[in-house]
Amino acid sequence: MSHGTIVILGSGETAPGMVKVHRVILDSLETVRGVTLDTPYGFQENVPQLTEKIISFFATSLTTTLNPASLTSFEKTTELQHEIFRDLLRNANYAFAGPGSPSYALKQWLPLGLGELLEDVLARDGVVCFSSAAALTLGERTAPIYEMYKVGDPPSWLPGLDLLRVAGLRCAIIPHFDNAEGGNHDTRFCYLGEPRLLRLEALLDPEVAVLGVDEHTAVIINLTADSLEVRGRGAAYWRSGGTQRTLEQGAPIPLSALRNSPPRPARTVEVDSAWLETPESLGEIVLTGGPDATVALARLVQMAATGGAGFIDAAPLVDGILAARAVARAAKLFDLSDQLRDLLTNNAIEVSDTADGVTWSLRSE
């Protein structure tokens, strides 16, 4: 049996009316180790401001700290940066993502293997909470909303993360199901309108359903209890075989009433041995090289950047990274050397090359 909880928010992830929903979800975790993913809006110019808004909402309204897990572009970042992103998710038991573009997010997430990383969060009895654009990506198929609604592309589907297969649900997710912003034209079904939705449904495999979620509404899929519950302002909808079943608020619904495929077997998540290593031993792995070197270096960078409770002093960690940088420079691997220095600099650690050697200091933020 799979474990954990998948939460699908139709919209309004930072709206006051959703605070109770978030609180119920967060209170299910003994200790929250949360991250927020910026990828869905990674193409925008105001990424830091949007991330700060989400972090501020959770801190102020829910007294919960979310750490930013940043990956705004897969192609423009290095494998080491990918590994740092993965490392944050490996230590998380709560993963949140929200507005933006589902097609852009998938372009970055699929080559990264985000689906398996999210399954690992669930396997640790954690929570995956995706809203709005990010929610669209969780199904077997994803509708490229912007391309159809704003650009005029013909109805089509993209492959999704297919996370709901762990619950035995083959479906596409449509948030903003009751949207009425169009006024004099139909913007229901995430701005698609009914004609586009019907054409899209005709393109699906007959066994794939559509799960619609109203705005300011949450669908909470409890994998351990094998149930689905609706909370918030509206309802959810299960559309399959030309019929629509309304999922009202109230008692949880057994997933067996909706299930249209065998649940994917629960993943077995082993404790990552790197968490048990010392900075010195991690530094040795980096210096030795091999398949684990990038993972070890990612862990060193995360430890050095985070500091505080649950982590050790930054000094030996930074020294270990600088030792790896020195080896890279001696081998004339100057691109790698620059990359290691940039990673430290980006994590508020200033590095100075002097006649007497390399010095570093923590930059006050």
* 217-258 confidence digits (pLDDT tens): 999 999 999 999 999 999 999 999 999 999 999 999 999 999
User: How far is residue 87 from each of residues 1, 274, 324, measured CA to CA in Å?
Assistant: 25, 10, 19
**What was the pLDDT predicted at 275?**
47
**What was the pLDDT predicted at 268?**
76
State the Cα–Cα distance between residues 210 and 105, nearest whole angstrom.
Answer: 20
Question: Is the distance from CB of 295 to CB of 274 less than 8 angstroms?
Answer: yes
For residue range 291-323, list pLDDT tens digits in order.
777 777 777 766 665 554 334 455 666 777 787
Q: What percent of the chain has pLDDT over 70?
A: 88
Q: What percent of the chain has pLDDT over 90?
A: 67
**What was the pLDDT predicted at 305?**
59
Q: Return the CATH number of the domain spanning residue range 5-257.
A: 3.40.50.880
Q: Which residue's structure tokens are 């992830």?
A: 13
Provide the whole-model pTM.
0.84
For residue range 74-120, list pLDDT tens digits in order.
998 888 889 889 989 998 999 999 999 999 999 999 999 999 999 99
- Between these two residues, 1 and 292, which has the higher pLDDT value? 292
**Ramachandran category for residue 113: left, alpha or beta (phi over 0 → left; psi -120 to 50 → alpha):** left
**What was the pLDDT predicted at 306?**
58
What is the residue-averaged pLDDT of the chain?
88
**What was the pLDDT predicted at 3?**
85
**What was the pLDDT predicted at 118?**
98
Query: Where are the chain's structural domains?
Result: 5-257, 273-362
State the Cα–Cα distance between residues 160 and 47, nearest whole angstrom.
Answer: 23
